[in-house]
Amino acid sequence: MGLKVLLVDDEPLARSRLRTLLAECGSPGVEVGAEAANAAQAMEHLRRQSFDAVLLDIHMPGADGLALASVLRGLPDAPAVVFVTAYAEHAVTAFELEAVDYLAKPVRLERLEAALGKVERLVQARAGGLEIEQEVLVIQDRGRTERVPVTEVLYFKAELKYITVRTAARSYILDGSLSDLEDRHGAQFLRVHRNALVSRRAVRALEKHFDPEEGEGWAVRLTGIDESLAVSRRQLSAVREALAS
């Protein structure tokens, strides 16, 4: 199916780069319906025509991309928002605003294609009158059953015979295996160690770390919590790539 997109970025070269990448995408029928250099221009375009998606920069003169995305949430038939930015620190806020994806500049073609695939699935679901179901973990905890959205999980860590599920608010205990969780949610989580998976969107920093058992090494820090998680030598390059993407 065809997608009609609006490009919003105050840098003409950045918009030109996105146009070129969109032309190279494997998704057929992607049309750039309009371009805007700021939030005000974007709203003018949105008042005149409808779009399936907005590829949106964050740091712009006047109202920034986060403010515009907040307004878009309240529109009927709101377009899907894909943030395209050089700043990684806004990822959590972006997903709280229900962004479909968060792309880091310089944008790689395969990441743009993946984001457009998410937009296509959303558009198709809306056309069919379907609700997009949020993935959840059903956790038995202290005599109660709780549904924990996967998007809220910062990491999974294997601890003896159980798995610790950590969100920004608290920890849970889950029966199961880390391998099964990786198979089901590998697109959202990155293995950093034989005993840990971390949320890709929450990865904030990679830093030197000393472990009493393993000695000098590396650890990853996640947005929303103070603790760090050890990164194995085998997974170090994958973590560096995730930070750079």
Q: Can you give the pLDDT at residue 137?
A: 84
Residue 189: pLDDT over 70 = yes
What's the average model confidence in pLDDT over 172-186? 87
pLDDT over 80 at 52, yes or no: yes
pTM: 0.57
Q: What pLDDT does residue 48 have?
A: 93
* Residues 198 and 224 sit within 8 Å (Cβ to Cβ): no
Residues of the chain with CATH 2.40.50.1020: 136-244
Please, which pLDDT band fits residue 132 given cuts at 50, 70 and 90? very low
More confident residue, 207 or 147: 207
Q: What is the C-alpha to C-alpha distance for residues 157 and 163, in angstroms, rounded to an integer?
A: 5
Phi, psi of 21 (to 5 degrees): -65, -40
Q: What band does 143 get if pLDDT is binned at 50, 70 and 90?
A: low
Task: Please check the confidence at residue 235 and state whether its pLDDT lies above 80.
Answer: yes
CATH number of 136-244: 2.40.50.1020
> Which tokens hold the place of 70?
């907040």
> Span 70-91, mean pLDDT?
85
Which CATH number describes the domain made up of 3-127? 3.40.50.2300
Which of the two residues, 148 and 46, has the higher pLDDT score? 46
State yes or no: pLDDT of 134 exceeds 80: no
CA 28 to centroid of chain Cα atoms: 23
Question: Which residues 6+ apart lie within 8 Å of 137 measured at CB?
Answer: 147, 148, 150, 153, 165, 172, 174
Tell me where in the chain the CATH 3.40.50.2300 domain(s) lie.
3-127
What mean pLDDT is predicted for residues 205-216?
81
> Is the confidence at residue 131, as pLDDT, over 60?
no
Higher pLDDT, 63 or 149: 63
Give residue-wise pLDDT tens across range 13-37: 999 999 999 999 866 679 999 999 9
**Which has the higher per-residue pLDDT, 121 or 38?**
38
The per-residue pLDDT for 172 is 92
pLDDT for res 18? 96
Work out whether strand 203-211 and strand 215-222 pair parallel, antiparallel, or are unpaired. Answer: antiparallel
**pLDDT interval class at 158 (50, 70, 90):** very high
pLDDT given for residue 65 in this prediction: 94
What is the mean predicted confidence (pLDDT) over 155-175?
Answer: 92
- Between 69 and 210, the higher pLDDT residue: 69
Query: In the numeric block, which tokens belong to residue 189?
Result: 């989580």
